[in-house]
Structure 1
Amino acid sequence: MGNPNINLKAVRNNKGVDPEKLPKYARQQYEALESSLEKASFFGFGPTSRPNYDTPSYNVSKNETVVSRGNSWIVFGTDRPHNLASGYGGRLNSHCASIDLVAGRMGVRGKAFYESGDPIFVNPNFKLDAARIYVSQMSNVDKYFGLSAGTVGNTTYMAPRSTVAIKADTVRIIARENIKLVTHTDRQNSQGGELGGAVTSTYGIDLIANNDDRDMQSLVKGQNLSECLKETMTAIHDLRDIFLTFLDYNRQFQIQIALHTHKTQFYGLPSAPDYDNLPKHFKRIIDLVTNVETQCYLQMQKLTGIQQKYIEAPAGAETVKNNKSFYILSKYNNTN
């Protein structure tokens, strides 16, 4: 079921066909057309080919091979995040081969020509290009994409890594069976660095929403949390038993106080109980039973219900309401 609270403010409805992106001379040709069919044909509807008026030209390096159609590109070359001098390819490093797959250079800003009619040449733009899969043998990928360090740290100029980076407005990874995110599989990285086991936190997985790592915290392990909650509830039950024992002792004490007597001067015989305060004593005992002891049992029933609803259930059955399970452990997702 879809989320009805999707933020629609971020949605911008661009025109399917925008004549404003045409250079001046082409726009004049378009506006001179009279029929709707002619205007449609101008933009490639029907049997005609589509003019690439929204596709800038790519500033190709001499060591790059480019395959393109429209504003879809595959560039085979060396590490290059921007201009010809950028990246490890621009520094003439060895072992820095790259493959850059791009759909939509410059995104919605893409145009083929200036108003003067001169072609527009662009470099890779990891900020504005619409969608990209970037594969590089040697890359300072976190700097290229402006990523927060998180807890696993960032690549640097002196500590590059091979990378596969995926960026678009939305990214979906879809599997017919299952998905694994696995780290620390080899003893060496692609740069020849030894991957020791002393500092394993750098081999973890960071989930960073909004590219903001100021309040990064560790994930909770479900089974450990479940056992912790069970032990906590057991401790609460034990505390209840201790408190009920105290109430029993206190009740016996209150009864003794209510019925206590004193030795009189008349041959040492016991006096009568304090009949004026006797009702008050027994009312106090009844109030303790009604307002404290009984409430303890009711609260423990609530705790047992919470435990069965969220943590465990008889015969392993989960509590389900409106097709929603309340069991705190996921059937499908696991982490270490």
Structure 2
Amino acid sequence: DRNGEEIYVDPSMKKDAARIYISQKANIDGYFKLAAGKVGKSTARSGIGIKADAVRIIGREGIKLITRPESKNSQGGKIEFVKGIDLIAGNDDSGLQPMVKGDDLISLLISLVDQIGQLNGIVQGNLTAQITVNTAMLAHTHAIPGSPLPDPVFQGIVAGMQSKLGIQGAISQALSRVGGEFLKMKYLKPVSPTYILSRYNNTN
């Protein structure tokens, strides 16, 4: 103090300008007042906490963040399941969501683009059929004067187009529905190995 007397205070994880905390057994999240996230809070486990105004981790040949390299923790207890990595901005985990796995997302988008291309083909087929009908109507005349009678040639064209479009449309719609359900099962269901979201890693 001003009189030269030493003043002893408890350490403050909040007020210290910078701190590296290492402990064999600690409640590291509680000490630093950290959000639980999806990983949860560490209790009575060895821990290292690093806090400062700015923390930088630099690796000239890469950086790895790895969880559960062994099957037991520092206390000798068995680690029952894999915990992932949470990236939490603002120490607020309320909006935490699973990260997207890029390769699987690309595969899904390619499949969707292919399905859209198939739908475009169906639309183009319908347009071509409609042009055929319109052309037949332009050339249509009645051979018998008076009350108009159905033209058998025109009737044949329309009937043929309707039959063709009906069959093709039913098949295309069925295949499209099956394809859509397949994509949902393959990429959007957590049980699938190609699920586009990470089962372990989250961010906000």
Shorter chain as denominator, the TM-score bin is 0.5 to 0.7
Is the 1:188–1:194 Cα contact (8 Å) retained in structure 2? yes
Mapping for residues 119-138 of structure 1, pairs under 5 Å: 119-138=6-25
Distance 1:269 1:154 in 2: 84
Aligned CA distance change for structure 1 residues 270 and 119 (closer, same or farther; 3 Å): closer
> What letter is aligned with 1:150?
G
- How far the C-alpha of 1:262 sits from its partner, in A, is 2.7
> What letter is aligned with 1:133?
I
Q: Which residue of 2 aligns with 1:154?
A: 41
1:264 to 120, 135, 144: 144
2:126 is aligned with 1:246 = yes
2:99 is aligned with 1:219 = yes
Aligned CA distance change for structure 1 residues 270 and 143 (closer, same or farther; 3 Å): closer
Secondary structure of the corresponding residue to residue 141 of structure 2: coil
Q: Which residue of 2 aligns with 1:181?
A: 65
TM-score (norm 2): 0.68
Deviations 1:94-149 (A, max 9, x none): xxxxxxxxxxxxxxxxxxx14x5543322211001111111100000111000001
> What letter is aligned with 1:153?
G
Aligned CA distance change for structure 1 residues 259 and 131 (closer, same or farther; 3 Å): same
Secondary structure of the corresponding residue to residue 134 of structure 1: strand
2:59 is aligned with 1:144 = no
Distance 2:88 2:64 in 1: 18
Higher helix share: 2
The root-mean-square deviation of aligned C-alpha atoms, in Å, is: 2.3
Deviations 1:30-64 (A, max 9, x none): xxxxxxxxxxxxxxxxxxxxxxxxxxxxxxxxxxx
Q: Which residue of 2 aligns with 1:165?
A: 49
Unaligned runs of at least 5 residues, structure 1: 1-112, 272-334
Distance 1:153 1:129 in 2: 25
Is the 1:134–1:164 Cα contact (8 Å) retained in structure 2? yes
> What letter is aligned with 1:160?
A
Q: Larger radius of gyration, structure 1 or 2?
A: 1
Is the 1:147–1:211 Cα contact (8 Å) retained in structure 2? yes
Secondary structure of the corresponding residue to residue 163 of structure 1: strand
Secondary structure of the corresponding residue to residue 148 of structure 1: coil
Unaligned runs of at least 5 residues, structure 2: 152-200
Distance 1:191 1:220 in 2: 34
- How far the C-alpha of 1:185 sits from its partner, in A, is 1.0
Distance 1:264 1:209 in 2: 82
Distance 1:227 1:181 in 2: 26
Is the 1:264–1:270 Cα contact (8 Å) retained in structure 2? no
- How far the C-alpha of 1:261 sits from its partner, in A, is 2.2
Size of the alignment, in residue pairs? 151
Deviations 1:280-323 (A, max 9, x none): xxxxxxxxxxxxxxxxxxxxxxxxxxxxxxxxxxxxxxxxxxxx
Is the 1:132–1:166 Cα contact (8 Å) retained in structure 2? yes
Is the 1:161–1:191 Cα contact (8 Å) retained in structure 2? yes
Secondary structure of the corresponding residue to residue 149 of structure 1: coil
Is the 1:126–1:145 Cα contact (8 Å) retained in structure 2? yes
- How far the C-alpha of 1:231 sits from its partner, in A, is 0.9
Distance 2:37 2:109 in 1: 29
Aligned CA distance change for structure 1 residues 269 and 130 (closer, same or farther; 3 Å): closer
Identity of aligned residues (%): 44
- How far the C-alpha of 1:196 sits from its partner, in A, is 2.1
